[in-house]
Structure 1
Amino acid sequence: MHIYTTERFVLPLPPGHRFPMSKYSALRERIDLALRSGEIDPCTIELLEPPAATDAQILLAHNADYLYKVSAGEMTRDDIKRLGFPWSPELIERSRRSSGATIEAARSALVHGFGANLAGGTHHAYADRAEGFCIFNDSVIAARVLQKEQLVQRVLIVDGDVHQGNGTAAITRQDPSIFTFSIHSERNYPFVKETSDLDCGLPDETGDDAYLAALDEGLAACARRFPQPDLVLFLAGADPFEGDKMGRLALTKAGLRARDRLVYRFCEQYDLPVAISMAGGYSPRVEDIVEIHFATVLEGICWNLQRRDRR
């Protein structure tokens, strides 16, 4: 199983910036510790450097004018405000690498059953604009790259970030080969939402039991409405956590682990490969974010090994 990570995921930001950029290096360090301690068997995974997504790959989801504008640093002040990051060459390299990581994690899933990008989940990026810390929509790019290469035909995107995947919904609106399921906080950003193939907007302070029931119902609806996909892309956001400062939901860490298991069991039930990305997480304590992301990765590795044994 392949897990994709790079130092380039960590973008230099101004002091006091609200995005917890350090979570990416801390998550890599946590996985390294698990490999050294035997918590993860080193024989089961490879940690790999992702390639940068090419222009041709990015253009499967984004407009040429937009790609030129962001690559050349010609974003306006309003563009930068909507994005939430200052422009820099490192930002574009990070965004290309993150998209490349999701592409390669999806390839790994097709071969091994499971793959992971230790960043990604940039679901607010539209075809023609950046938004909400997202430049390129890695999930749509990955889905369309694999479709173009005739490795898959139908892709299910399960978006578990606390914020609706508005960019993903908009880009794929007229694309029946990609089904988008977003389970999110209804009263949270984006305040004007797009229409996914399936949206589950939850009220403030939704806890474990209600969330898991809604997710279970949503996954069952995906199976009915979009049967037999070739691949699942799971955005495993840490921001539904009760301690998240941008979340508005109230899941415990145990509830988030149960969320992950529910998605993985769904994939096993229908014999589906799954690639995961980390998406959001904004708890005041970076340690909480890392613990949640690590649990998602560890659960996926263990589940996939057990799935192989059960076959």
Structure 2
Amino acid sequence: MYPVTCYYPKLYDTLVHHNADKTITYQLDQIEKTKWLYYKLKTSPNYDTQVVNSSDDSVLNLCHSSKYLNSLKTGKPQPLAETSGLIWQKNLYPAHVNSVWSSIKSSISALNKNISMTLTSGGHHAVADRGYGFNPINTIALTTKYLLTNKIINNIAILDLDVHLGNGTIELLQHTSNIHIFDIYRYTKPEWITRLPSTLPDNIRVYQTDSTNQYFKQLESYLAQIKKLNPGLVIYHHGVDVYKNDRYGGILKFSEEKIHLRERLLLKSLYRHVPIMIILGGGYVKYDNPSLTTSRKKHPPPPPHHLL
């Protein structure tokens, strides 16, 4: 299994955000987490880290509209460029081009080595004409479209275990018959749901729960279905925002031990049977002391153990 190759997008760790009155600049949890993981894994003999830098942005046209992409490039119109919630900055667009290529390279590596990892966001909330949920670009959907369009592979399963519904991935890929999406979630938003049809096609399977026991029963069912499908690749959107104390997510009684159990179940079921590309989903620190929010923005600490 080792060393696992991990791909990290150049410029991603330069992206910043600010508070409402623009007096404090800081990095969001997702950026901190991926940056911290990159430097952590870079020193481990069990991982081979590769930095990806590409100027080829043509791949983004596979899922996103030219009007929206141009806003991300130029920052104009600003409201459109910032629909994801991220502030516009000059590195926003090239960083996410690198994110997509990191994911593509990681997928191809998984086909050769059976497992790989992308140290960036899956972007599963972004849709064709705008961003949502701090996701300006849908890395998962773009990677999938690239692999299919270039006939690198013809059957892909996406397992989305972020605690929030992967609305953007579903919206963008729902009519692609050789893509199978399996999504277990707890949270969604009305603006995501209203863009989706009331009845999803058979290749899209979603399950909503706030029970850890039901979560694992459904996961075992999904893993069995994926194994039976025998896809050429599994894209695993690895969300740790299922953790019970997550700031923006959480499922009751979902402990660190349960997260480790989830990963063991997945690897036991799929590893050596189908190639797996892991891409990072959500995970948000919950502060017991309100003063930590401000101090974190000034001096971000490394993520806690449950984010690893």
Common fold, TM-score beyond 0.5?
A: yes
Determine what percentage of the aligned residue pairs are the same residue.
23
Alignment of 1:164-179 (within 5 A): 164-179=165-180
Give TM-score, length-normalised by structure 2: 0.82
Cα-to-partner distance string for 1:208-228 (whole Å, 9 max, x where unaligned) = x3321221122234445xx12
User: Is residue 2:219 matched to residue 1:212?
Assistant: no
Q: Does 1:259 align with 2:262?
A: yes
Q: 1:19-52 deviations in whole A, cap 9, x for unaligned?
A: 313222222232245x1xxxxxx2x532101233
TM-score, normalised with respect to structure 1? 0.81
Partner amino acid for 2:236? F
Structure 1 position 17, deviation (Å): 6.0
1:90-239 aligned at under 5 Å gives the runs: 90-185=91-186, 187-189=187-189, 192-193=192-193, 194=196, 195=200, 197-203=204-210, 206-207=211-212, 209-223=213-227, 227-239=229-241
SS at match of 1:22: helix
Distance 2:53 2:64 in 1: 19
The aligned residue for residue 305 of structure 2 is 291
- For residues 254 and 116 of structure 1, what CA distance do their matches in structure 2 show? 22
User: Of 251, 273, 276, which aligns to 1:274?
Assistant: 276
- Whose strand proportion is higher, 1 or 2? 2
SS at 2:88 equivalent: coil
Corresponding position of 1:19: 28
* Cα separation, 2, equivalents of 1:289 and 1:106: 26
Alignment-derived partner of residue 291 in structure 2: none
- Structure 1 range deviating more: 242-251 or 214-223: 214-223
Q: Secondary structure at the match of 1:134?
A: coil
Quick one: distance in 1 between partners of 2:55 and 2:182?
25
The answer as to whether partners of 1:146 and 1:152 remain within 8 angstroms in 2 is: yes
Residues 137/190 of structure 1: CA separation in 2 closer, same or farther (3 Å cut):
farther
Contact map agreement 1:52 1:99 (CA 8 A) in 2: no
Q: Quote the Cα distance in structure 1 between the aligned partners of 2:226 and 2:148.
A: 20
Secondary structure at 1:118 match in 2: strand
AA aligned opposite 2:276: V
More deviation, 164-173/276-285: 276-285
Per the alignment, do residues 188 and 169 of structure 1 end up closer, same or farther by CA in structure 2, a change over 3 Å counting?
closer
> What's the offset of the Cα at 1:260?
1.5
Please report how far the alpha carbon of residue 54 of structure 1 lies from its aligned counterpart in structure 2 after TM superposition.
2.6
Cα distance in 1 for partners of 2:5, 2:93 equals 24
Tell me the residue number matched to 1:302: none
What amino acid sits opposite 1:26 in the alignment?
A: W
Name the aligned partner's letter for residue 276 of structure 1: I
Once residues 112 and 91 of structure 1 are traced to their aligned partners in structure 2, the CA distance between those partners, rounded to angstroms, is 31
Which of the residues 12, 22, 45 maps onto 1:9? 12
In 1, the alpha carbon distance for the partners of 2:192 and 2:145 equals: 26
Normalized per residue, which structure has more helix?
Answer: 1
Deviates more, 1:112-121 or 1:285-294: 285-294
Rounded Cα–Cα distance in structure 1 between residues aligned with 2:301 and 2:279? 18
1:244 and 2:251 equivalent?
A: no
**How far 1:173 sits from its partner (Å)?**
1.3
Matches within 5 A, 1:31-110: 31-33=41-43, 35=44, 42=45, 44-52=46-54, 54-77=56-79, 80=82, 82-110=83-111
Instruction: Structure 2: state its 5+ residue gaps.
Output: 19-23, 288-299
Distance in 1, Cα, partners of 2:279 & 2:190: 20
Partner-residue secondary structure (3-state), 2:97: helix
Change in CA separation of 1:27 and 1:67 when aligned onto 2, cut-off 3 Å:
same
Whichever residue aligns with residue 86 of structure 2, its letter is F
Counterpart AA for 1:141: L
Q: Structure 1: how far apart are the matches of 2:66 and 2:301?
A: 39
